[in-house]
Amino acid sequence: MDKLVIEGGIPLQGEVNISGAKNATLPLMAASLLAAGKHTLSNAPKLRDIRTMQNLLAHMGASCEHNDLLQIDTSDIHTLEAPYDLVKTMRASVLVLGPMLARYHRARVSLPGGCAIGARPINLHLMGLEQMGVEVQLDHGYVIARADRLKGATISFDQVTVTGTENLMMAATLAEGTTLLKNAAREPEVVALAEYLCKMGARIEGAGTAEITIEGVKELFPGSFRVIPDRIEAGTYLVAAGITGGELKLNSCRPEHLEAVIQKLQAAGLSIDAGDDFLRVRSNGIIQSVDIKTWPYPAFPTDMQAQFMSLMTLGNGVSVIIEQIFENRFMHVLELKRLGADIELDGRTAVVRGVKKLSGAPVMATDLRASASLVLGALAAEGITEVNRIYHLDRGYEAMEKKLAAVGARIWREKS
């Protein structure tokens, strides 16, 4: 098991190239099941979660190659099952459920269960599929689903769900009739999936709004698509510049996907200039304390909460951070306190009192974004920090230590 060793206190300077978005790539990979043939994704990141989805598709009969391009051939799908051994490591594996039902009318998918940051049940996925005529049974931890053919329906989500929106949107592409998704997720990753599905021959309107309309078609065709940049990775490097008092230019990103994050970072004292496909961020080392509440896109994303909290540990006042998405997404707090942070928890609220400095210490990552927050804290801390269990980090950040080292950080990977 690897760990990162970081000697903090160095302002970052230079340019960082932002990778393709993991949370966009995974549903695009699942969408390949909707049409037999060769699908090609460019700008797909090389991450642990991407490899897991490749393994799942390979188990089902697809062939996957990931060099400069991610190529998936779904001509020979023969197993309509997502087994527990694969699904347990990545919740997004459940995204194969909708495509399998749409094209093959049956599926057997392990329940993904919970994760470190909350339960995240798939009941909204299943309720929507039942409204589309799918017979759903739960058997020894598996979803057993079948339908002669899916039928269009009007589905209102009780709460916004990104994977639920994506799963049902994919299922509806080959359904008979029209499907209307109400209270749909509006994330850029949902829009990217809709754009690729339309390139495959689907008829979808309204992606990026709270109501998405899908008119079912008889057949889809494989195609090619460029994965959108990772807005959370970009946000993380914005914080990296701020917390170290540095200056970075982020290339190959979409500033319009980060408006809520940029506004809060500017309020915290960072100078941020946006171009069409780049961001330039500068910090004078003085951090203003700012309050945030997480909420679905386009509001402040829960996936940036931990990183923003790291920045607030060095604020010049008190910051109140309210987590409204996941019930257990403050697991990084105890580890940040090991670095010297002053944070008090009360349910879903964290009160962060800024301190003058952080100090290096051994810490342990508990989930993907918690890992990033600890790396950020370590970059600003005096002395040496060891971040353990970084396999979480490898799920969602491509070559993070190499990108940071290239802009001046003293960071390296070691075996624990």
Query: Residues at the annotated binding site for phosphoenolpyruvate?
Result: 22-23
Which positions make up the binding site? 22-23, 91, 303, 325
Q: Residue 219 phi/psi, 5° resolution?
A: -155, 145
Q: Are 267 and 312 in contact (CB under 8 A)?
A: no
The residues with which 73 forms a beta bridge, in sequence order, are 38, 63
DSSP 8-state class, residue 151:
B
The residues with which 273 forms a beta bridge, in sequence order, are 280
| C-alpha–C-alpha distance, residues 206 and 186, integer Å | 9
| C-alpha–C-alpha distance, residues 28 and 99, integer Å | 11
Which positions make up the binding site for UDP-N-acetyl-alpha-D-glucosamine? 91, 303, 325
- Residue written as token pair 């799942």: 56
Q: Are 214 and 173 in contact (CB under 8 A)?
A: yes
Per DSSP bridges, beta strands 178-182 and 211-215 are: antiparallel
Q: Which residues are catalytically annotated?
A: 115
1: helix, strand or coil:
coil
Q: Are 302 and 294 in contact (CB under 8 A)?
A: yes
395: helix, strand or coil:
helix
Residue 142, CA atoms < 13 Å, CB-side half-sphere: 15
Rg value, the chain, Cα: 21
If you count DSSP H runs as helices and E runs as strands, how many of each does the chain have, helices first?
A: 14, 24
